[in-house]
């Protein structure tokens, strides 16, 4: 799905207000809690029951950040291979942010994370795309789970991802919110940078700033800059 950007213009023709959609995909093994996390973020509640996701479910939440409206569109993907096959190409198109999820009580779901990261790479999602690693079901943490948590923290650090130990079921949904809000904020700051660069480019009569133009053009394609 493409990002969208709507704007109004000031008297000098420069954008003063934008609204856009950012696509965040949520991936990880079956049963780790992807549906519960996205449901919790969008509704504030832990769902009383869930079924295995088939293909993908969409959820949206409108955030207001520094006077700008950002529609966060979550792609809650299926963990089971048989329910993913036909959809995989769609998951990875025009992605702005990635959330990897594993279940703290299921070490295999942690060990499988490199496979999910490989799948992203195979679909040309590079390290420049903001990513978060979520260790879910923190309400079920025991002394036995401390090793996997530390390993996950390390993995996140090595790959430049934010790390969250959280629970879709927990009493406080704050951490669940911050997974998606923080990602959306980093996307927003990337975009602000791209708009500034595009404005520079538009003001430059002879387009004599090749390095900036290259970056701006790449980001423009990503975000649909209006310059
Ligand atoms: N205790 C606890 N259970 C959770 C939590 N999150 C999810 N669950 C449970 O884990 C099970 C699977 O949750 P889902 O959200 O459906 O998992 P999923 O990752 O979407 O699974 P697929 O759609 O098959 O890929 C359900 O029984 C949930 O109630 C959590 O934070 N704590
Ligand atoms: Mg699901």
Asked whether 52 lines ligand 1 (CB < 6 A), one says yes
Per-residue model confidence (pLDDT) at position 18: 52
Q: Count of residues for the chain? A: 227
- Contacts of residue 182, Cβ cutoff 8 Å, sequence gap at least 6: 132, 162
Residue 38 and residue 59 in contact, taking contact as beta carbons nearer than 8 Å: yes
**pLDDT at residue 169 in the model:** 95
Query: 125 C-alpha to center of ligand 2: Å?
Result: 22
Q: 8-32 pLDDT, tens per residue?
A: 343 445 443 556 889 999 999 999 9
Distance (Å) from CA 47 to ligand 1 centroid: 9
Give me ligand 2 centre to Cα 3, in Å.
Answer: 24
- Give yes or no for residue 5 having a pLDDT over 60: no
- Nearest atom in ligand 1 to 166's CA: 31
Residue 167's pLDDT is what? Answer: 96
Question: Is 32's C-beta closer than 6 angstroms to any atom of ligand 1?
Answer: yes
pLDDT one-digit tens code per residue, 158-207 = 999 999 999 999 887 678 999 999 999 988 777 655 444 434 443 443 33
- pLDDT tens for 28-87 read 999 999 999 999 999 999 999 999 999 999 999 999 988 888 999 999 999 999 999 888
- pLDDT > 90 fraction of the chain, expressed in percent and rounded: 62
Ligand nearest to the CA of 27: 1
Ligand 1 atom closest to the Cα of residue 170 is 31
Long-range contact list for 81-84, CB < 8 A, 24+ apart? 83/52, 83/53, 83/54, 83/55, 84/55
In this structure, the residue with its CA closest to atom 6 of ligand 1 is 33
Look at residue 216 and tell me whether its pLDDT is greater than 70: no
Is it the case that residue 147 has pLDDT exceeding 70?
Answer: yes
8 vs 130, which has greater pLDDT? 130
Round to whole Å and give the CA distance between 36 and 169: 8
Q: Is 40 in the pocket of ligand 1 (CB under 6 A)?
A: no
Can you give the three-state secondary structure of 163-181, one letter per residue? Answer: EEECCCCCCCCHHHHHHHH
The mean of the pLDDT values for the chain is 81
Number of helices (H), then strands (E), belonging to the chain: the values are 7, 7
């Amino acid at each position: 799905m493409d990002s969208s950007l709507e704007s109004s213009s000031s008297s000098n023709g420069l954008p003063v207000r934008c609204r856009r959609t950012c696509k965040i995909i949520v991936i990880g093994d079956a049963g780790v809690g992807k549906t519960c996390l996205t449901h919790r973020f969008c509704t504030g509640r832990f769902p009383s029951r869930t079924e295995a996701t088939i293909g993908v479910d969409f959820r949206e939440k409108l955030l207001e950040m520094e006077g700008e409206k950002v529609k966060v569109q979550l792609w809650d993907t299926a963990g089971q291979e048989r329910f993913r096959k036909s959809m995989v190409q769609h998951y990875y198109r025009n992605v702005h942010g990635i959330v990897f999820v594993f279940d703290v009580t299921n070490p295999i779901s942690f060990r499988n994370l490199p496979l999910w990261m490989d799948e992203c790479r195979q679909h040309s999602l590079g390290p420049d795309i903001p990513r978060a690693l979520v260790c879910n079901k923190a309400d079920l943490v025991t002394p036995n789970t401390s090793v996997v948590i530390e390993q996950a923290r390390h993995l996140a650090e090595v790959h430049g991802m934010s790390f969250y130990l959280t629970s879709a079921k927990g009493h406080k949904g704050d951490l669940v919110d911050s997974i998606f809000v923080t990602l959306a904020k980093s996307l927003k700051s990337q975009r602000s940078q791209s708009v500034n660069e595009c404005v520079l480019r538009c003001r430059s009569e002879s387009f004599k700033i090749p390095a900036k133009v290259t970056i701006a053009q790449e980001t423009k394609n990503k975000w649909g800059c209006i310059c």
